[in-house]
Structure 1
Amino acid sequence: MTARLFWTKARLRARRLIRRHPRLNVAFRTFMAFSIAFGGAYGFIAGSLSADYDPHAFAIGISFLFALACVALAILSMRLRRMRKKMHKIALHNEALVDRNWELKEAEERARHLFESQSDLIVLRDGGGVITSVNEAYCILAQRSRTELLGSRFALPVLEQGESAIESNGTRVYDQRVETARGPRWIAWREALMRIDADHPAELQCVGRDVTDRTDSERALAEARDRANEASQAKSRFLAMTSHEFRTPLNGIIGMSGLLLETLLTPEQTTYVKAVKASGDALLSLIEDLLDYSRIEAGKVELECRPFVLSDLIEDITELLAPRAQARQLEIASYVDETLPAEVIGDAARLRQVLLNLAGNAIKFTSSGGVALIVVPGIRPGDIRFMVRDTGIGIAPDAQARIFREFEQADDQIIRSYGGSGLGLSISDRIVKRMGGRITLQSKPDSGSTFEVLVPLPAQDRAPERKRFTAPDLTGQPVMLVAPQAIETSLLARRLERWGAEICTASDLTVARALLPERAWHAVVVDHAMGGGAIWRFGQAARQHTERRIIMVTPSTRHDLQVAGAAAFTGYLVKPLRTASIAARLSAPADDPTSLRTAGGQPDCGRPETSRTPASTSGPSLSILIAEDNEINALLTRSLLTRLGHAVTVATNGEEALKSWDAALAAGAPYDLVLMDVQMPHLDGIEATRKIRERESVRSGRRTTILALTANALIDDRHACFEAGMDGFLVKPLDRERLADALAGLTAARHVPA
């Protein structure tokens, strides 16, 4: 076992020696072959010359040697054949290597060409910062040859270093402003470590791109943005100033014309004063649009989230627009789906602004027919769809997208025929988008339009503070509607069907009279628009078939209810109809009175005419100081407050107001309220308010309520008023109802029992 291991190790050592020294192997084999040939030849020759020569043995030996030679030749032939195969394989391998080498050279040449043809700067450095490779673009920018750069630590002179950032793959990115022969240039660098193989150290690959044009453009854009911001701020200041300058005289025009309408005037004078007031209202509406657009453009519109009654908002809008529509012989009606929540949460004022604009435009561009405001649930929970439909002139397809842009209308003919600033729809669209909704339009020329507003309005969780009305149960009850096939009629029929009624609609009095005997009707509702004395005769004929006979009138035709024939009807409804009024009429006890129900009988569901009598306060009188530098506005405000029954003192600037406040406090009769104009000479309202609050902090006593009386409607001005210590603000032109509400709230707060 030991000998075998010894010989195995010996053979391995011999093979290793032969592999390491191939010449020794050839010499050894040559020596062995020569020794065998020489020994064999010498043995035969010696044997043939000896005395014991045996020809037979000699022949056997020769044959054996010949056989060995043949075997050797066969082995040699086989080895030569094997050698040829190996040589052939080696030749093929060499050809493949040559092809691969050619491909590598071609790829290297292509890569070098790509490397050199790059307009970007490419430079490779080792760990010590020495340049190991560089492309032609870098040489041109550096104004040095490749020979000078290779092996050096050359770097372009840096004039300004930008901020650097590290990407997720470890690449460092930064900008540099460098000095070159072409002048200062901005280079965007990307640096990354690159390792060719394990035997070579990693190199830093730097790729730079000349971004001077981009940087200059960015700086120009930044400067333009700064200039635009400055222009926007200047515009805001200009709007604030012009708003004050516009609103101050408008306050006098609108307010004084309103006071003048309450005096005894001839019909001609009344017409002229109404024209003045209408012109002032139109100018105020234009100013409001411009200010709203400015606030929305500047992103300064803040939305409120307060609960409000959805149906009240919609019906208030239709009532507000009804006089305008009825003056153009148009119908306007509303419908709110009963499946919607009674109260929702959102910005009622902004939603009202949007719907007033859409419905007002619908009236403006409609010459016959009418306008419908329909509210139904949206597709997603919490979404509500508001649809404003009209039978107007319609909008061409190519103009439907354009009308939502600023200062745009459908075409020039629209501007000449109808006027307008072209801001209403743009403002409405932006407000709705701020609410998270959208406005869509469906329209065809001469076929009317439908504007749809989809807004998310979540329902109010708590129970409503007041119950609106109880819907009557009309299941199976027949109701006849005698009215033209118009908007109000279709929406009323839709409402009654939701309450379970069986509706029969007739657009002709003769047909309606023929249908009366067919059944006992729960109610008959007749539109006054069916005409004249025939209505009263129809009412008399309906006495035998129904105990509820209701007539629909407009405020302008309400006086016709005083004629003798009107006694045939048991009640009336004023258009546009309110859902609560319809429910009250149809659920009233069935009897047959001889006259219309008024406030002394069943509830009068008609709305009273607007009173022209001067308002008076029902609460105690207040002591009020007015700080106003404009004589007309001071006179208007004093007149309004005097008519409301309050004691008024006027100061023409902030200093006089401060002195008057001090004097009243020293006399033991402090003012209950100060109406402080913000912009006044000598001492403005903001500074005067600060001084009053400072003096109140020193003295102990009741805090004086101060309301800003300002023409500036921008939100920044409101913040300034509150920061100065004011309790609220009234925007000019001064609105009598808002002033009365503010005083009523103050009166209630002052006289709450202890």
Structure 2
Amino acid sequence: MTVKKTFPKILWLIFSSSIFFILLYFALFYYTKKAETQVYGHTIEQFNHEINKLLEVNAKPILVAINNDTNWDEFVNFIKSKDENWYNSTIGNELEIYEADYLGAYDAQKNFIIRTPTAKIKTLDFIPKKEMELLDKVGINKFYMKIPEGIVEVTGAAIHASNDPMKNKTPTAGYFFVVRLIDIKYVKNLEKLTSSTIIFTDTNPVLPKHKNEITSLYKLTDYNNQFVGNFLFKRKFEVYFENAISILYVIIVAFIINLLINLFYTRRLVYYPLDLVRRALETGNRKAIKELKKTTGEFSYIGDLFEENSNQKIELINAKIKAEEGDRLKSSFLANLSHEIRTPMNAINGFTELIINTEISKSEKLEYLNIIEKSGKNLVSIIDDLIEMSKIDSNQLIPNHAVVNLESCINELYETVKITIKNKNIDFKLIKSKVPTEFNIITDDIKLKQVIINLLTNAIKFTEKGSVTLGFEIDEENKLIHFTVKDTGLGIDEDNHKNIFDRFKRVDSDISIKVGGLGLGLAISKAYIDLLGGTISLSSKIGEGSTFYFSIPLVYAKAEHIVVKPVNNVEVIQSEDQVILIAEDDNINFLLFQKMMQKTNFKIIRAINGQEAVDACLNNPNIDLVLMDIKMPLMNGFEALEQILPMRPMLPIIAQTAYSSSDDKVRIEEAGFTDYITKPLNRERLFELIDQYLNKKNSYEI
């Protein structure tokens, strides 16, 4: 019932909109025709004005030059002396300057003196005497005339002395004429200047009116203002109003056809789809939805919406399954995290309790302490990975680019890792690039080293015996540095390749359980490589080993040749009666420093906050080295450094910090610290830094 009532309303809407469109069409048609007439007339006026101005511009250089030459004392003298040598060497050489075909001079009695012609004009004397009489009055004049060679443009001027302020008030010394033949070259130059097509005619034609072309007639007259010929200028008229009229005709025809089609198909294209919509809404009929999609216009879109709604329900189900899978993976990860943290903590607490509460031998005590130390390092490594992954998730990492000696960097890593695995049955090899690195590169060396160390650590973990190879190659053509870390270890099943770099997934096996860890190393490595603008991939088979490939952009620093520095062992130098300031607010940490250094000859003084450290350095010139904690009350280590450096720029200040991420290390270096040491403290690293920055000898035990 509702559908039947709606049909007359739709017909009335179609009819009323049609009347409005027809009225609009006739208004546009009238406006278009009127605008065409106005625009065409205005364009003709502009074209005539433009042609006159351009012809004035074309003649201007000749008028300026002839005015200069005829207002010249030497030219006046020539008229009297008729010295042909002077004329030929001065005026006769100016044909190119005037771009003329003929130059001619006459005396005051209007007698021909000399000419400078080209091959185009051979006539000797053709300037009318009456033109010279006119020049006595006007000074300079341009006109056109016919000669045997054709029609020429003549520019003449009366010759006067340079001190003659008013040429037409004193007797004329002579006359000078510049003549240009109106030939093909002349017309072509004029066409180029005016951007028009030019036709010369010796009649007065009636200018035709073309819709796609505008014309302008320039009359050529002689000295007596008698008709000589015409230049007919033609230019395309780019405003094609007939196209607009044609479009209007097409629109009205199309509108009539469309109106007939609408009237014919209204019931089919409106009411049938409405019925399908009703069925889909009432019963959710999938057949009705399918037929609705086959219709045209908005109803087809409505059918798509119905289908999309159905698909969204399926996607929600899949998303729920995926979220449950993610929760399961996170739960598994957290369970693994709990296990990995509790394992070293159990060792630390258990063996500490044994040392405190049981009587053990010195060798057992040393064994327990080594276990506690190793467990502590494992715990710190786990915490570092968690902190770094947290920064990656929160997009807090940024690359800290610096100039890097690539070969020295790789050599240092190789030697460091080689020492740590000397007790393992592994052949550790380094394969250098065939293309030498003659220049330093720009990259984030801290993150690059961390990626290589992570990959090497994994390779060594999962290789009981065999070989581990680190290699790099310079790719000059593609501006890349390619790295490979290859091992002959356990290998990775192909089904796990796609998930190997995911943070919540790791390959579970007896060996992976044995070596422990959270499995975040590869996820962190991939994040670092992405940050550096590179790529990483894997090739591995079970039982044959694994090869990790990664590439980073090759960006050279300034073109300075580099020298690869060898990796030297640390020289232990000794010092006597030197003063070390330890800025440390925590009593236990300060006690640890004291116990580590109790067998040395260093004099140890303490500052419990940053302000005391500043006062001590400024008031005690005997302080030779400072171990500065970063996080202290009153004034932190960075603030204390800012006040100490201006007063004691040569004093070595080593930062000691619990922050261990690469970004924190970069901030410490940029602040101006001489070096840094991380917590938990490593006794060997501590004495290595002291030896490096104190140059006097002092005996102590390491």
- Taking structure 2 as the reference length, the TM-score comes to 0.43
Q: Max radius of gyration: which structure?
A: 1
